[in-house]
Amino acid sequence: MAPKYSLKDGVYLIKGALRGAIMDTNSGLVYSINSQGCKVCAYKVEDDQYWHALVSMGIAGEIERACPQELPRSMENDHLKFMWFEIATNECNQRCIHCYTNSMPQNSRGDLLTKDFSPSIAQPKSRMLYKDWLRVIKQARELGCKACQFIGGEPLLYRGEKGETVIELAGFAKKVGYSSVEIFTNATLLTPDNILKIKEMGIKVAVSLYSDDPIIHNSVTQTPGSYAKTVSSLALLKKFGVETRVETVVMKANQESVESTKSFIRKMGLHGRKPDLVRPNGRGEKSLIQPVDKTLIQYGFMLTPLFKASRKKIAHYKSRHSCLNGKLVITEFGDILPCIFAREHILGNYLAQNNLCEVICCSELQGIWHTTKDHVAVCQDCEYRYVCFDCRPLAEAAAQGRVDFRSAPYPRCTYNPYSGEWGNGIWIVDRDGKPYYDKSMALEIRQVRQSIERSSNMMIGEMNYEG
C-alpha cells in the first residue's frame, strides 16, 4: 500500500480565496502555499514529492490513514476580562491636538468650542460618584475581570465628592483582586509622594510622550512646559521602580521624530509598544493632523505576512474577536462602550442600570465579542484570518458609515487574497459600500516595504507547488 501522509499534530491548513497557509503551532511559523499545494494537503491531488518536502520540513509525516485535522477549538468561557474606567472623560490639563475624547482644561472650553470642537462636552450630564466607581470596579471583578486601566482625559484630575483620587480607586481595584491595574496619564501631575504610593500598591503606569524634542511635544499638547514635566516624572517612575510603559501617537506634527523618540525612551531604560497612528476619533478626525503617506504606510500598514501561529490564537480568533472580546469601557457619565474608540456604540448606562451583567448578556455586545474575520468583508476570504489581528472601530471609521461595524474591511492591510499579492494597495469601500483594492499608493507602499525588508527578517516560509 502506498504511504499516506498528513500534516503533523498541531499543524493546520487554512484555505483562502486563491492561496492557502500552513500554520505550524509547534514552531509558530506560518507557510504560504499556492492553490495546488492546498489541493495536495486537502487530498484532492496526489503528489508524494510535495509531501516529502513537507516531511523534510518537519510539518508532515507518514500515516496509515489520511485524516485532515480539525482546527483547535476554544475552551474558554465568555467573561469580562478587561475594563477601561474613564473617570475623567473630558477633564485634562493639556489640549492635545489629536485628543480622542475632546478633553481640555475647563478654562479653555468656551474659546475652543467656538472654533471646531464638539459642543457635546459643554452639555451638563450626570456623573459617576465615587461610590458608583467603587461598585462597578467590584462588580466587574466579581464577573471575572482581572485587568483594568484608569483613563481620561487626565485621570489624575479626578476628584471624588470627598477629594478621593484615582490612586485610591486603583488601590481599591488591587484590594478586590485585580491582578493588573494601570493608570494612563500624561504624567505632568505626578508627584514623588503619589509615585511612592503607586509603587507600594503595585500599580502600573502608562505615559504619553509625543516626541523627544520639547518643541514638538509641547506643540502637540498645546501646553508650554509639558515636555519637561512629563520627562521628569518618567525619570522618577524609573527611579522608584514603577512598572512603566511609554506610548507615542504618530501624527503630522511629530512624524519626523518618531524613531529618535523610540531611541530616547530606550535610553531612559523604559519601553513602549509600537508607535500608534493617530485614530479618527475626537480631534483626531481632523485631516490637518494626519501624517504623510510614507509615515502612514510605515507605522500603520500591514506590509508583509509577519504572523505567528499558536493553538490558543487560532482557537480564539476563529470564535471570538481578536481585540474586543471580554472588554468594556465605562465613562465618567456612566455610558458603557465596547471600546474607547467605539464611542458611537453605547450599549447602556451604568447610572441607569447599575448592572454590568445585563450589558454583558445583551445580544449587541455578544455579537461584537464574537465578531471574527469570518464576518469581515475580504478578510473572510483570506488564509491568514485566524492569526491576524483586527480593529473594528478603525475599519468602521474608514468605511464612513457605508458598511456596518462587523463587516467593514480592515483598511490598513495591503494583502489581496484574490490575487495573492502583498503591498500593492489597501482595501477601501466605494459609495455603495462594496470593497475594492485601491492601488493609488502602490508605489509608496512598495518603497516603504522594500526599505523595511532590507532591515528585518520575515518570519515566513514560502512553498509553491509547480506540478
Q: Which residue range forms the structural domain that includes residue 356?
A: 82-366
Does 135 reside within a domain?
yes
The more confidently predicted of residues 309 and 73 is 309
Angle 226-240/192-201 helices, nearest 10 degrees?
40
Residue 431 has pLDDT above 80, yes or no: yes
Residues 321 and 344 in one domain: yes
**Bond from prior residue into 20 cis (ω within 30 degrees of 0):** no
Query: How far, in Å, CA of 335 to CA of 350, rounded?
Result: 6
CA–CA distances in Å: residue 149 to residues 65, 174, 185, 358: 51, 12, 10, 22
Write out the three cell numbers for 185.
Answer: 496619564
Question: Looking at residue 84, what DSSP letter applies?
Answer: E
Does 298 reside within a domain?
yes
Distance of CA 303 to the CA centre of its chain: 17
Residues 162 and 117 in one domain: yes
> Is there a contact between 103 and 91 (Cβ–Cβ < 8 Å)?
yes
Does 176 reside within a domain?
yes
Write out the three cell numbers for 350.
Answer: 451604568
Position 106 scores a pLDDT of: 79
Residues 191 and 111 in one domain: yes
> Is there a contact between 355 and 344 (Cβ–Cβ < 8 Å)?
no
Does 467 reside within a domain?
no
Angle 192-201/166-175 helices, nearest 10 degrees?
10
Residue 77 has pLDDT above 90, yes or no: no
**What is the number of domains present in the chain?**
3
The strand ranges marked E within 260-315 are: 276-277
CA–CA distances in Å: residue 368 to residues 241, 323, 350, 375, 449: 38, 10, 19, 11, 33
For residues 310, 311, 313, 318, the Cα torsion angle rounded to the nearest 10 degrees is 140
Residues 11 and 151 in one domain: no
Task: Pick the range with the lowest mean pLDDT from 104-113, 193-202, 268-277, 363-372.
Answer: 104-113
Query: How far, in Å, CA of 230 to CA of 217, rounded?
Result: 10
For 155-200, the pLDDT digits (tens) are: 999 999 999 999 999 999 999 999 999 999 999 999 999 999 999 9
Question: Looking at residue 189, what DSSP letter applies?
Answer: T
Residues 329 and 190 in one domain: yes
* The amino acid at 378: V
Write out the three cell numbers for 310.
Answer: 499558536
Position 39 scores a pLDDT of: 96
Position 1 scores a pLDDT of: 42
For 208-252, the pLDDT digits (tens) are: 999 999 999 999 999 999 999 999 999 999 999 999 999 999 999
Residues 297 and 434 in one domain: no
Position 66 scores a pLDDT of: 62
Residue 465 pLDDT level (bands cut at 50, 70, 90): very low
Does 73 reside within a domain?
no
Residue 455 has pLDDT above 90, yes or no: no
Residues 160 and 290 in one domain: yes
Mean pLDDT of all residues in 315-327: 97
Residues 345 and 378 in one domain: no
pTM equals 0.91
Residues 315 and 431 in one domain: no
Position 458 scores a pLDDT of: 46
Residues 98 and 46 in one domain: no
Q: Give the CATH number of the domain where residue 263 resides.
A: 3.20.20.70
The strand ranges marked E within 98-161 are: 147-152
